[in-house]
Amino acid sequence: ELMFLGVHADLQGAMFKCHYGSETAKRKFREKLPNSVCNILAGIERMILSKAFPGPYLISPNGPTVADFCVHNAVTSSFPGLRKLGVDLSGYPAILKLTDAVQANLTTKERKRKLGEPPQVPLPEGLPELWYFDTQGQAELTRLTFAAGGVRFKDIRLTTAQWRDAKNNPNSVPSRLFKSLPCVRHSDILLAQPRAVCVYAAELGIWAQGR
């Protein structure tokens, strides 16, 4: 699963280039994006098709894991996302099937949680806090992982002004780490960097459940 966190970071890196810089540069990177990510997508497609068990998921037949969320988020996120950027995914039917299965699983989980389903695993004291901006970006993968594991958490979404204040406050969670987002505070635990906070979310939920 750590490999897929790396794959997700590579896909996001290619997509972020389409959002920043001059209009000319952004247009250039959008035109190049399908070729830039085709080897990664083809590799994911091969891995889905060659796994030893039936069903749409990559790692476990019992439900989505971090690897599946990595693929789902790269495809469906509004910022940055392959669909949003106009990448034609019709040549990757297994990826599309996985993405649909993850979405259906998350919808079911959210419906049950709203009906009062208790957390599936006991949590350490207090709720984990996920700090990020009010967008999907580099935190959505962690949000998905918390939700799929039945882990309740505080989703702290900062405005631009709040982020500026947090960076200037030496006692804020980001300033106690690297002055970067996303980050997590859970009781005395402080974590930063996208992969680290996603792994922590998985350890509290889906990995604790054996997925």
Looking at residues 114-132, what average pLDDT do you find?
Answer: 68
Residue 155 falls in which region: left (phi positive, over 0), alpha (psi -120 to 50) or beta: beta
Confidence (pLDDT) at 114: 46
- Residue 76 is inside which H or E element, if any? helix 66-76
pTM: 0.81
- Confidence band, pLDDT 50/70/90 cuts, at residue 211: confident
Q: What pLDDT digit, counting tens, does each position of 6-15 carry?
A: 999 999 999 9
- Confidence band, pLDDT 50/70/90 cuts, at residue 123: low
Confidence (pLDDT) at 117: 52
Yes or no: say if 57 and 63 are a contact pair by the CB < 8 Å rule.
Answer: yes
Between 160 and 108, name the one with better pLDDT: 160
Q: What pLDDT digit, counting tens, does each position of 100-118 carry?
A: 999 998 887 554 554 445 4
